[in-house]
Structure 1
Amino acid sequence: MAITEHKDIEKGDNKGLEDLFEPFLDEKSKDFDSKKDDEKFVQNDSIAMVLISTAVAVCGSLEFGSCVGYSAPVQSDISIDLNLSVAEYSLFGSIVTIGAMIGAITSGRIADTIGRKGAMALSAIFCIAGWLAIFFTMQGSVLLDMGRFFTGYGIGIFSFVVPIYIAEIAPKNLRGGLTALNQLMIVTGSSISFLLGTVVSWRTLALTGLVPCILLLIGLTFIPESPRWLAKVGREAEFEYSLRKLRGSKANILAEADEIHATILAVKSLPKVRFMDLFDAKYIKAVIIAVGLMVCQQSGGINGIGFYVSETFQTAGLSSGKAGTVAYALIQIPVTILGVILMDKSGRRVLLLVSSSGTFLGCFLVGTSFFLKGQAIILAWVPILAVSGVLIFIASFSIGMGAVPWLIMSEIFPLHIKGTAGSVAVLVNWFGAWVVSYSFNFLINWSPAGTFWLFSGFCIITVIFVARLVPETKGKSLEEIQASINK
């Protein structure tokens, strides 16, 4: 039973929305002499606390999206108000990814030392400090960059601890749907920043970034700590209290408690993995797939386009980038929801192929629009092609390349190398995000058309990589996935 429980955690199977209304009682709880009214109470009690806890945790995901989306709508205003050069703004826009890299590297140890709630609280404090530093910047870029770095460090921890916390508190039949909320709320936070940035000043927008952090800090006082972490560190009384609070006061938690303890013992018995072990023939293909997908995700230009979308539209000839930025923001959320629905229906590999093909088309159209502008050919089509290309790109990215690489990474690694291999993949992802976001403005100044055609070339490489190396993981057990990789 312990191993089955852990497989479900890793796989994150999505179930239908009707599962949200199924009771969470274990089969062994049938020996309780409960009436139907009691069963309804248990169901509603447990659903309520799990959903409240998840809602609090995804405030961190909302904050993540707010930080990522901040730089796009404010580039022009900040650059003018603080007299920033292209290099200075590029550093400001991209330094969030440096902070996130460090946050991601340290997040595992932090979450294991002070708990999942403690890690989320620490992240919120760093983000609050960062936003206040940005708000109070008067001249120069030192305080501005420091604030951006702090918010990056905070979201680096959030990127690890929020999905971990949700997976550890959710019942099996809710785990897939609730963990998917993490990506959805990141996109929502980014879209909110884009939209607000078109109507408020950059200082006011920085203050709005405080809201998810404040809500999170308040909410953490009302929700339980992860019962799995409490069991891991030996706090048995708090473990039982937390699990009972999450499952309902009348639920029989004995069977699940036994499973959690057995899983923790099984994990502790596994050998520790060193970095060099990842190059073993048994694991190298899975590492190549996971790291390759992270490289493909970033090399298509998502962080450059996302961070500087308003400036891209203005470069293409729009009098104001606000209309395009609003459209960019609005399209992300419904397409991400569609991707979540299709993930367990059409399959991961199909979504990746469709998504990367769409990002190629989007980048190619934007590059073509800049080429036409540079050659002074059919200039009336330039803004239309630019906006259409960017919207096709973000819609295509949101339906597959945004979330699927992370899901596949969680499925292809054996349990005992998951922490080490996953950390490497996350580090590569954030490093790629920094390279793209920092170089984007320089590339645009070099050649706008060349920049987007370069991204479209990487998108073609992604199609080839997925077609040749990435396995379909839909509907397979973790053992079946790992066996198919090593054939």
Structure 2
Amino acid sequence: MASERNEATPLLQKKKNDRKKIRNSWLFVAAFSAVLGNFIFGYAMVFPSAVIPQLQMDKDPSMHMDVHQMSWFGSVFAIGAIVGGLSAMVMNDKIGRKHSIMISVIPSTAGFLMMAAANKVWLLLLGRLLTGIAGGITASSIPVYVSEISHPRVRGALGSGPQIMAVFGSLALYLLGLILPWRWLAVAGEVPVLIMLLLLCFMPNSPRYLITNNKRDEASRALQWLRGPDSNYITELNQIERSVNSQVGIQWSDLRSPFFYKPILISVFMRFLQQMTGITPILVYLQPIFEKTSISLKPEFDAAIVGGVRLCSVVIAAALMDKAGRKALLYTSAFIMYLATLTMTISTHQLSCDSRNITAEVPSAADAYGAMAGHAVSSGTIIPLISIMFIVFGYAMGWGPITWLLMSEILPMTARGVASGLCVVVSWATAFALTQIFMHAVEAYGLYAPFLFFCVICVLNIIFTAKCVPETKGRTLEEIENYFRTGRTFTIAES
């Protein structure tokens, strides 16, 4: 049997009865309490999709938007997310992941209330900015918190929780947009905010954060609560403590070490390429995109269908995360998006409708909204709907949830708070640029131009996955850290 062992064999063997010892429902309650923040994030991010069409038909002409205001309404959320990500870089290590998530309630509540009561466009923009700040904080804090409280056997499934809940939030917005006026959509956003705050009051801090701050007794109680009193949590606690004690604070000179710069660069580039697929502008402007393509169904119904497809795909990804492996899903995801964006490019390029900005041809944005929806419907216009469905399906299968999960898995403990905040800043700076440019690119060149760009990015994603991304399936956080330290193995020593 000894001959069967090799360099990639973990030195800490897992016992066969480990699986039954981690079946503690409190772990899933804690994870659910945290990822409610991602539900709010998903709801707030796609808010313009359902609201812009309603605003264009609002009786108050001061609430009507031209193309520049639409671009800012869609993209200012990303500016807020950058501010939130920068704030989380400090808060994650100073006050902990849980309390950082709880603080996001303040800008989130204020932002939704401001949009609900808005009587000027600038108030809507300010409300979007505040909800973006909350989104940046949660996007940086929640994946790290969930990863640090999870057992390795279920970290893949729980790690996909943030993406799943973000999808649930977006779908809730699309569905509520069918029945609620836009002001009540903002009011409805307050409900999950208050539920999250209430639940998190009873949840423990991350054991790793507690040990880092010399609170071993509290960390022991937290891990016992998360794993169950009959589990072998003391062994895991000792392993976490050894990992924390073996690390020192990061210095600028440390960035020359592959142990630090490789996982940081991989995480940053993954978040950059994730956004460059165009998923944010596609989701934010979903209904206006369908209006441009003259889909047979009403745009709000098309948006709800796409939201349902997105939800199904992330559930499938969660089920496959710890079976198929991270890299296999990233390959599949990028290839599906490549085919879908290529189809969308060809389809929209061949559409007979004029690619010029219709708002330039009509006296008001409200008239433009009606004009966009008034093109003759042809049998070929079902193709854009199918293409968008597969773009969203492909993204949610891999490049959506796995980039969040890998970020929390591969970043070194000492750099995790700062590096995760940096990833969020890079991600949302990219999202802001794309969301701001998207409508102007459509106006200048037609809908096919941005989708052609997204198609090229998908090819780059496949190459990046092959050359740079490690497989972390079934590995502990300590084994992953040791892989980047040695460059050749995932194994760790007992001492």
TM-score if structure 2 supplies the norm length? 0.80
Shift, 1:204, TM fit = 1.1
The answer as to whether partners of 1:72 and 1:311 remain within 8 angstroms in 2 is: yes
**Structure with the larger RCO, 1 or 2 (CA within 8 Å, 6+ apart):** 2
Deviation of 1:380 after TM superposition, in Å, equals 1.9
Aligned to 2:104: 123
Instruction: Work out which of the residue numbers 396, 399, 404 in structure 2 matches 1:398.
Output: 396
- Partner of 2:246: helix, strand, or coil? helix
1:217 matched to 2:197? The reply is yes
- The equivalent of 2:330 in structure 1 is 352
- Partner in structure 1 of residue 119 of structure 2: 138
Measure, in 1, the Cα distance between the counterparts of 2:27 and 2:410.
Answer: 28
Tell me, yes or no, if the aligned pair for 2:343 and 2:387 is still in contact at 8 Å. Answer: yes
Contact kept in structure 2, 1:125 and 1:213, CA below 8 Å: no
Residue 94 of structure 1 aligns with which residue?
75
Relative to structure 1, the CA distance from residue 285 to residue 381 in structure 2 (aligned partners, 3 Å threshold; closer, same or farther) is farther
User: Which amino acid is 2:186 matched to?
Assistant: A
1:407 alignment partner AA? L
Task: Say whether 1:187 aligns with 2:167.
Answer: yes
Structure 2 counterpart of 1:460: 459
> Which residue does the alignment assign to 1:266?
246
Report if the CA contact (8 A) 1:372-1:379 is conserved.
no
Counterpart of 1:203 in structure 2 is 183
Asked whether 1:291 is paired with 2:268, we answer yes
Question: What is the distance in 2 between the residues matched to 1:415 and 1:191?
Answer: 34
**Pair 1:475–1:225, CA change in 2 (3 A):** closer
Deviation at 1:483, TM superposition (A): 5.4
Q: CA deviation at 1:92?
A: 1.5
- Aligned counterparts of 2:31 and 2:331: Cα–Cα separation in 1: 31
Q: CA 1:285–1:51 in structure 2 vs 1: closer, same or farther (change >3 Å)?
A: closer
State how far apart, in whole Å, the 2-side matches of 1:322 and 1:137 are.
23
Partner of 2:348: 370
Q: Report the AA paired with residue 187 of structure 1.
A: V
Within 5 Å, give how 1:229-378 maps onto structure 2: 229-235=209-215, 238-248=218-228, 254-267=234-247, 270-274=248-252, 278=255, 286-318=263-295, 320-374=298-352
Query: In the alignment, what sits opposite 1:56?
Result: 33
Counterpart contact for 2:442–2:450, Cα < 8 Å: yes
Q: Which moved more, 1:324-333 or 1:194-203?
A: 194-203
2:300 is aligned with what amino acid? Answer: K
Shift of 1:471: 4.6
C-alpha separation in 2, matches of 1:432 and 1:485: 33
The answer on whether the counterparts of 1:317 and 1:382 sit within 8 Å (CA) in structure 2 is: no
- C-alpha deviation, 1:391, in angstroms: 0.7
Amino acid at match of 2:285: Y
The answer on whether the counterparts of 2:144 and 2:408 sit within 8 Å (CA) in structure 1 is: no
- Distance between the aligned counterparts of 1:136 and 1:455, measured in 2? 37
Aligned match of 1:150: 130
Is the contact made by 1:95 and 1:149 (CA closer than 8 Å) also made in structure 2?
Answer: yes
Indicate the SS of the match to 2:118.
coil
Structure 1 residues 373, 293: closer, same or farther in 2, change over 3 A? same
- Match status 1:170 vs 2:147: no
> 1:420 Cα deviation (Å)?
4.6
Other-structure match for 2:92: 111
SS of 2:50's equivalent? helix
Is this contact kept in 1: 2:157–2:321, CA < 8 A? no
Identity among equivalent positions (%) equals 28
Counterpart of 1:74, as a letter, is V
Q: Which amino acid letter does the alignment assign opposite residue 164 of structure 2?
A: L
Distance (whole Å) between structure 2 residues aligned to residue 186 and residue 368 of structure 1: 30
> In angstroms, what is the RMSD of aligned CA positions?
3.0
Distance 2:469 2:217 in 1: 44
Deviation string, structure 1 residues 383-409 (Cα, Å, up to 9, x no partner): 211111111111111111112233344
Match of 1:445 among 443, 446, 455: 443
| Cα distance in 1 for residues equivalent to 2:415 and 2:204 | 29
| Change in 2 beyond 3 A, CA 1:231/1:367 | same
Letter in structure 2 aligned against 1:329: G
Once residues 181 and 373 of structure 1 are traced to their aligned partners in structure 2, the CA distance between those partners, rounded to angstroms, is: 38
Counterparts in 2 of 1:258 and 1:143: CA distance versus 1, 3 Å: same
TM-score by length of structure 1 reads 0.81
Unaligned ranges ≥5, structure 1 = 1-15, 25-42
Deviations 1:101-140 (A, max 9, x none): 111122132133333332222111211111001101012x
Matches within 5 A, 1:25-36: none
Aligned to 2:11: none
2: CA distance between counterparts of 1:258 and 1:481? 22
Deviations, residues 45-82 of structure 1 (Å, cap 9, x unaligned) = xx233232222212112111111222222221124431
- Cα separation, 2, equivalents of 1:341 and 1:135: 38
For residues 459 and 364 of structure 1, the distance between their equivalents in structure 2, rounded to whole angstroms, comes to: 10
Cα distance in 2 between the residues matched to 1:394 and 1:440: 17
* Counterpart secondary structure, 1:318: coil
Which secondary structure does the structure 1 equivalent of 2:104 belong to?
Answer: helix
Q: Does 1:429 align with 2:409?
A: no
* More off after superposition, 91-100 vs 223-232: 223-232
1:230–1:349: structure 2 CA closer, same or farther, 3 Å change rule?
Answer: closer
CA shift in 2, pair 1:259/1:463, >3 Å? closer
Relative to structure 1, is the Cα distance of residues 237 and 283 closer, same or farther in structure 2, using a 3 angstrom cutoff?
closer
Cα drift, residue 248 of structure 1: 4.3
Q: For 1:484 and 1:263, how far apart are their aligned partners in 2? A: 18
Asked if 1 retains the 8 angstrom alpha-carbon contact of 2:208 and 2:219, the reply is: yes
Question: Quick one: which amino acid aligns to residue 64 of structure 1?
Answer: F
Decide whether aligned partners of structure 1 residues 75 and 289 sit closer, same or farther in structure 2, where only a CA change above 3 A counts.
same
